[in-house]
Structure 1
Amino acid sequence: MTRIAIPEDSLFGLANLPYGVFSTPGTAPRVGVRAGDSVVDLAAALGDDVFSASSLNPFMAQGHARWVEVREQLLDLVAGDVPSAAVHPVDAVTMHMPFEVADYVDFYASEHHASNLGRLFRPDSEPLMPNWKHLPVGYHGRAGTVVPSGTDIVRPSGQRKGETAPTFGESRRLDIEAEVGFVVGADSPLGGPVSVDDFSERVFGVVMVNDWSARDIQAWEYVPLGPFLGKSFATSISHWVVPLLALEAARVATPMQDPEPLPYLQEKNPWGLDLSLAVSWNGQVVSRPPYREMYWSPAQMLAHMTVNGASSRTGDLFASGTVSGPAKDQRGAFIELTWGGKEPVTVNGEPRTFLADGDEVSITATAPGPAGARIGFGEVTGRILPAR
């Protein structure tokens, strides 16, 4: 038996215990939980074959009561002695995609981000479109190009606006979007909307998201139907899924919503979250977006996503959209941070606007836990490769 030593200041202590999928040399991917600097093999530790699967989907599909039961088991297990064969150093395992993505939806829930882009794109008009404060604006993305942290990102090519006619070539304005993603665990039937009050019964956990964006391709294609090739080439997520059950201490009120949302979007106890993000560009932190500033909550996003009767499935991923705050150094996309490329930021001594080949971006986050603890989400990282 092994007693896992977890430092008091660990972001992966008993208050967290995030889930992921890992393998060791010569073994198949399986579900584990991170405790300090160790990964606990849940199939070996709990004797349950659902954790022998190569994704979290079978476990998530068991529903909220089962998630609560397993978390209680894990708190007891990790606080005591764990079978030695079930414990692996985190730097000795290979991490994999944590869940199979069923559908992917991306929202646009930050008033600061939406207002900044409105000022950039429509300087002579109101920053926000008339619908923005009445519903969480979003679009359906491409589930098949959601990739795990550490996957290299090939620079996309596509049509761009030219002086007299469109041109084709590699994106010259490649960008990031620092986002927070929510993973649906318990599905809902076709024709059955999910109430804001049922959010915690349906959503299993939270991941970090980088929604890579080709701004020049996006600018030419998005009217009138919205994002397409400028977004669909890659979306990166973190390896660790922090259970929603670990985030009660991180709950805060959302900003005041005016006008009052329609009844199906009204929350008695809003699901704002006090997450502190950090965006690193080639190893240098260039932005610290605060998620607590997000105008629309994830419960409102899920309610709006299903209010028309659309079903949700185990493994659905919906993301917040770019997280941005009121200050310049809180902007979660480089198009905002550099004001459309007109105000370069200094990265390792060089003025930079958009991503160059070889650049690496890493997004991390922490949140408050109980009794003064901090909870970590790991990181979502990607490096840019030349266009093919």
Structure 2
Amino acid sequence: MGFVRVGIIGCGTVGTGTAKLLIQNADLIKKKTGIEFKLVKVADIDWERKREFEVPKELRTTDYKEVIDNSDVVVELVGGKTFAKKVILEALEAGKCVVTANKHLLAEEGKEIFEEAKKRNLFIGFEASVGGGIPVIKALREGLAGNKILNILGILNGTTNYILTRMFEENLDFETALKEAKEKGYAEADPSLDIDGWDAAHKIAILAMLAYGGYLDFNDVYVEGIRNVDKLDVELGKELGYTLKLLAIAKKVDSEVEVRVHPTFIHSEEALAKVSGVYNAVMIEGDFVGKTMFYGQGAGSHPTASAVVADVIDAGRFLLCSSKVLPPVNWEEGELKVRKNFYSRYYLRFDVPDKPGVLAKIANVLADYNISIASVLQKEMVCKIAGREGETIVPLVILTHKAFEEDIQNALKEIQKLPVVVDKPVLIRVEEEAY
């Protein structure tokens, strides 16, 4: 039987849930693991605000150093980069194992933190940084360690998934769906990190580093949010058999990796397309295991606390077994080379006059860039738009076969200059198993 002291720095939503779980389920954890985990200190700058669980007064402090000094495992739940990084590095320098949920910090500056932990042979856990209570990081580090990871596709942000679900199911426009998400507490007052794709980008960057074993410069991650998604495209995509999701993608392509986040059409019969509301899901394909899928609540006090405590338990086992800890990422592989010229299918929408010859003009430009058309949809009787000079302007949708991103972008620049194209073309990438 062992004894491990745990301290928490930051008692917001997740910190409160973590404290509650460690106290409320202490006997259960001891019974299952054979280790007694004792919460000794919780630091926060404001103990006056109301919380869903009241941390016992004798455990409270406003001095984070007191937590580091009195703990074997330090749990950082402050968030942000500057102070959180200081806390983690000080804890490691003091010889303490660390658990964090800080996706922002690890995605952008993880190398320094992981190297420090490796140098001191200390455990660092970060399961809660991706997917809330979904054990996807443990799966990559342990369960799938024998596999070459071919690709990762993830719905990693509940706010955007809720918005797109409501647009798909109820034909809401983006602003209406966002307002509803705020009213239900699914979106922050300032939802920029979510709807502009940065939250999902931080998460897929962490997964890519774990999967492919090297440092990733976060600036190389392609990020596009859902702020400009038009309900017309959601509806047209539905008619074509697709569901729109904000998809986080990591793929190994020869010696390069693609790491990107953007609105993506998925065939409506595929499992990821059926993930609705605020739920998250990650599909990982390995060369031996094939496709595996992890599904659950991607945020919230209790699911995230569950992931934090799972790491605390692993840290306790490491301390009491005195084993050598392996680094989370094999940094000896060096920096991952990121491929920015994606190879994908594309949904393209052009607003054009309803008259002969228009499709031919657009198709000729696409052909010049070796872009092959898979199908065409024009909904003149359903989606008429008032046009210039009395013309009837209709949406013309073209689905392409796989093409390179650079070719698509160059073709669209030329097509936009055509007199028959009224507005800026809409581009949405398509991920489909059949291609």
Highest Rg: 1 or 2? 2
Tell me the TM-score normalized by structure 2: 0.23
Provide TM-score, normalisation by structure 1: 0.25
Higher relative contact order (CA 8 A, sep 6+): 1
Higher helix share: 2
